[in-house]
Amino acid sequence: MDDIDNDILFEFESYEEFRQERLKLNAESTLKLWYSLPFNLTNIDNKLFKQQTLKQQRKRLRNLKFFAIYSMFLKKTFLKNRIRSKGFQLFNKTFNIPSLNDPCLYQIYESLGRITNQFLNRGKEYDSKINYQELYKAGRTVWFMIAFQVQLNLPLVLTDSIFGYNMLYPYTDDFIDSNQVSKETKIEFKKIFHDILLHGQSTYNPNAYFREKQSNVNHLNIEIHADRLEKIFDMVKFIENDWKRDEKNRGVYMSLATIHESQMKSILQHANIEDGYQPTMTFIEQISAEKGGASLIAAAFLIEGQLTRAKMAYLEYLGFAFQLLDDLQDFHEDMKNNHR
């Protein structure tokens, strides 16, 4: 990208302009680079690239889950320092970072652990039925949003919008990917939720917190999913607590609408045995690139409020990389459900 674009804000009057320009940026900064990569990339000798076997990956993931659970239940016991030390080691190994005796890094690690615990506790407080597997998946983007706070020298805190955005993941993604929800129901949900994200509700209460103001889902002809849909709409209210709906913050809600649109588009990645529908690999890659980029873009908007074109381009490609990692983790379940 030209240097002249570095300080140009990515902002538009209409959502359609925002969407079209964002897809253009995704194609230029992500897909173009992706298709130019050599096929033997994983065989290239690079000291910064540490390959792991499937067994090692599973062990690392299991250790991370155990750390999240132990740190929550043992945080007020004599074992808290030992648990914290294990967390530092896991962080270093996971991100291939050499161990450093740096007080600043330890403060960041402590904040990550503290905010992760707060997120898990708050998630359970809001929804006692949600399991830790879902919360763990939801919490991964929390770490990137905290990294954005570090970058901007902002206080490292779990804001309402961070909580709301990350809790949207288990509620919306599982709803969209579920084979128990009909295609017609998903289309109906898409239209309603897209409008809510972009324009809000006429009964919007900026002081809404948890269930002080129940979301209205009576107009949805999908009563069986009403409980989950209420939770989805409540998460939007959490975001509205931090970001008032006005012209200054319209990019925030446009970015949320575009991640929702990308999620809905991912339905097209699902093979259909009945009618023989089978998406091509190129089409799957395009949708994954759009969805992954949109995820981090929305996260960054919820921290900064505005983004430059250069930062958008960077987040597009980084988001695609993490989307690929997410897809690899869900590989077996997706194949079982004919998802690609």
Whether residue 310 lies inside any domain: the answer is yes
Residue 17 has pLDDT above 90, yes or no: yes
Q: Specify the pLDDT at position 214.
A: 45
What is the model's pLDDT at position 202? 35
pLDDT: is 211 or 231 the higher one? 231
Distance CA 270, CA 186 (A): 13
Q: Determine the pLDDT at residue 322.
A: 83
Say which residue, 89 or 129, is predicted with more confidence.
129
User: Residue 190: what pLDDT?
Assistant: 82
Model pLDDT, residue 163? 96
pLDDT in tens, 193-227: 888 999 886 333 434 433 444 455 555 555 667 78
Q: Are residues 107 and 206 in the same domain?
A: no
Rg (C-alpha) for the chain, rounded Å, is 20
On whether both 94 and 209 belong to a single domain, the answer is no
- Residues 229 and 319 placed together within one structural domain of the fold: yes
3-state SS class at 49: coil
Distance CA 68, CA 89 (A): 14
Question: 119, exposed or middle or buried, with CB in 10 Å at 0-12, 13-18, 19+?
Answer: buried
Q: Let me know whether 33 and 63 are in one domain.
A: no
> 52-78 pLDDT, tens per residue?
677 877 787 777 777 777 666 666 666
Would you say residue 252 has pLDDT above 80? Answer: yes
Residue pLDDT, tens place only, 101-132 = 666 666 777 788 789 889 989 999 999 988 88
Number of domains in the chain: 2
Task: Band the pLDDT of 48: cuts 50, 70, 90.
Answer: low
Residue 319 · residue 296 · CB < 8 Å:
yes
Which of 129-138, 205-214, 271-280 is modeled with the greatest confidence? Answer: 129-138
Domain-embedded: residue 326: yes
For tokens 């079209």, the residue is 20
Does a structural domain hold residue 65?
Answer: yes
Q: When comparing pLDDT for 316 and 132, which is higher?
A: 316
| Residue 152 maps to a domain | no
The stretch 25-40 carries a mean pLDDT of 82
Whether residue 178 sits in one domain with residue 253: yes
Regarding whether 173 and 281 lie in a shared domain, the answer is yes
Report the chain's mean pLDDT, rounded to a whole number: 78
- Residues 198, 301, single domain; the answer is yes
Q: What is the pLDDT of residue 296?
A: 92
Structural domain containing residue 81: 56-129
* Helix 54-73 / helix 132-151 crossing angle, nearest 10 deg: 90
User: Residue 290 pLDDT more than 80?
Assistant: yes
Classify 280 as helix, strand or coil. coil
pLDDT of amino acid 335: 53
